[in-house]
Amino acid sequence: MKVYLTMKTDRANAIDCAARVVQRLGRHDVSIYMAREQADAFPVPPIGIEPVAGPDEGIALCDAVVAVGGDGTIFHAAADAMRREKPVLGINAGRLGFLAQAEGNDLSPLDRFAAGDYEIERRLVLRVEVQQGRDTAVFYAVNDAVISKPDFGHVSEIEVRCGGDLVGVYRADGVIFATPTGSTAYSLSAGGPIADPAVDCMMMTPLASHSLVSRSIVFAGDKVLAVTTPDADAKTLFLTIDGVAIDAVTCGTVVTIRRAEYETRFVRLGGRSFYHILNEKMKGRG
């Protein structure tokens, strides 16, 4: 087996965990590739790493990606891997770790992974198209796409249509569009539903809506949503994809959201189902 290893380089616990991952996988017939820039973050580089120029080269060479860090590290690795249809194994060295199949304090599941004893779980990704005049830009969201105002000084109007039919005009701080994977992230904190990652759907949740009847809506995965801001005098809104600010949204901008042509692939080990992880991570947080 060949794996590409990526880690959260600004956290000492993630770097330490990644070093132990290399040692554990070194007991098996596993070749480990790592971006040279990340490998240089080890105080003492562990034996067994083959440095490559970057993620593109490493992912092309590998059978799977191993991501060490929090959920952010894991879903960004999944975004890098999806175009090459490579699965990602997440190892939690952060806080919640909903996407992880192993914890930093117990790397024994890596033995099963190295032996090929795992399943691959495919998950929906959002394709987000931003049309401004004749220009169109395309982005992909593993977790969520958020259209929101930049400050707390005003209320925005955001119009959402599904297949041409009006869903609603939301006077709110913004709107979150989440995948099932992202249902346990920002969407959850805004009051959105939790979705089984196997469900083919996308969810919309208003942010601080100025209405007593604004609720989350779950759309079938084959629906196409069009989002605009109808107020010509409104301040600029911003589109954020998976936590990264991407583009401005003004009157006349059309943001189209649909199921992407890609899927993310996550390694799932026996005994670590979504509901097992959900119960484990949400204990004491109700």
- Residue 234's pLDDT is 66
Mean pLDDT calculated for residue range 241-266: 92
pLDDT band of 152, cuts 50, 70, 90: low
Q: Which residue has the higher pLDDT, 250 or 284?
A: 250
Instruction: Say yes or no: 128 and 108 in one domain.
Output: no
Q: What is the pLDDT of residue 236?
A: 83
pLDDT value at position 274?
Answer: 80
Same-domain check for residues 178 and 208: yes
Whether the full predicted model's pTM is greater than 0.75, yes or no, is: yes
Report whether pLDDT(284) > 70: no
Place 255 in a pLDDT band, splitting at 50, 70 and 90. Answer: very high
pLDDT of residue 240: 95
Longest CA–CA span in the chain (Å) reads: 63
Q: Same domain, yes or no, for 47 and 128?
A: no
Q: Are residues 65 and 133 both part of a single domain?
A: no
> What integer best gives the mean pLDDT of the chain?
91
- Burial class of residue 48 in the structure, from the number of CB atoms within 10 Å of its CB (0-12 exposed, 13-18 middle, 19+ buried): middle
> CA–CA separation, 61 vs 84, rounded Å?
10
Q: Which residues contact 113 (CB under 8 A, 6 or more apart)?
A: 64, 89, 267, 269
State CA 237 to chain mean position distance.
22
Instruction: Give me the CATH number covering residue 244.
Output: 2.60.200.30
Q: The domain containing residue 78 runs over which residues?
A: 2-118+269-282
What percent of the chain is predicted at pLDDT more than 90?
70
Do 70 and 93 contact (CB within 8 A), yes or no? yes
Polymer length of the chain: 286
Q: What total number of domains does the chain contain?
A: 2
What pLDDT score was predicted for residue 35? Answer: 96
Question: What pLDDT, on the 0 to 100 scale, is given for residue 158?
Answer: 92
Claim to verify: residue 189 and residue 131 sit in the same structural domain: yes
Q: Mean pLDDT across the stretch 41-46?
A: 90
Mean pLDDT along residues 232-258: 87
Catalytic site positions: 71
Per the model's pLDDT, the better-predicted residue between 178 and 185 turns out to be 178
Residues 130 and 243 in one domain: yes
Asked if 59 and 79 sit in the same domain, the reply is yes
**Residues 227, 217: Cα–Cα separation, whole Å:** 14
